[in-house]
Amino acid sequence: MKLIADDLASIRGGRTLFSGLSFTVGEGEALLLTGPNGAGKTTLIRTIAGLLGPAAGSVRLEGGGADRSVGEQCHYVGHLNAIKSALTVEENAAFWCRFLGGEAERIATALAAFGLDALRDIPAAYLSAGQKRRLGLARVLVAERPIWLLDEPTVSLDEAAQAVLARAVDAHTGHGGLVVAATHMPLAFAGARELRLGRAAAAA
């Protein structure tokens, strides 16, 4: 399986964020998107997820399920955590698990991996920012999807949680998964390549 971006261009609000951007992410690879604010990291991730149409070029998946779109094979974790405050931690995780078609056993594993099992019966409204982020990230573990798209995943995470995330990502790439993450922080993902957006985008 191979994620291929071919000659991508994106124009937001009349401003060209990037153009002629091509890259491939193969099985077991992690790609880190870096660059200054406004370089188009989020836009690129949303384009891969199929939420934004590119101004030119295409994103395609080689060797994936041909009947499903690229977006349907991605876990998209954006700036927002997709958590309902009225529901408990476990209900939130359980909903995404069932909606995304994961097995029920994964819920407990995902919550335990991100250190949320003690909080499972607490309404999500009472979580701290970092705990909400962990619950948002736990979504990638509740259902199996080959591509993880993480937009600044470490925002408001403490060091322990960052290590948990790095372990989860390494395990995913270790099983042949693909990861694309936008970040300002150095992320300790094993064997990650860097794609710098912004001025240097054409050279990358």
Name the residues that contact other proteins, by CB under 8 A: 46, 49-53, 71-72, 74-76, 78-87, 91, 95-96, 98-101, 136, 139
Q: From the CB of 169, what's the least distance to other proteins, in Å?
A: 19
Q: What share of the chain is helix, strand, coil (3-state, %, to 5)?
A: 35, 25, 35
SS3 200: helix
Shortest Cβ 25–other proteins spacing (Å): 17
* DSSP labels, 61-99: EESS-TTS-TGGGEEEE-SS----TTSBHHHHHHHHHHH
Q: In whole angstroms, how close is the CB of 196 to other proteins at the nearest point?
A: 25
Pick the closer one to other proteins by CB: 33 or 83: 83
For other proteins, the closer of residues 82 and 129 by Cβ is: 82
Q: Which residue, 12 or 193, is less far from other proteins as judged by CB?
A: 12
DSSP E strands in the chain: the ranges are: 2-12, 15-26, 30-34, 56-62, 74-77, 147-151, 178-182, 192-196
Comparing CB distances to other proteins, the nearer of 64 and 170 is 64
Q: Could you tell me the smallest distance in angstroms from the CB atom of residue 186 to other proteins?
A: 25
Nearer to other proteins, 13 or 159 (CB): 13
Distance (Å, rounded) from C-alpha 37 to C-alpha 41? 8
For other proteins, which is the closer residue by CB, 83 or 170? 83
Contacts of 157 (CB under 8 A, 6+ apart): 130, 133, 134, 165
- Give the nearest distance from C-beta 78 to other proteins in angstroms: 6
Q: In terms of C-beta distances under 8 Å and separation of at least 24 residues, what long-range contacts does 69-72 make, across chains too?
A: 70/3, 70/147
Shortest distance (Å) from residue 149 CB to other proteins: 9
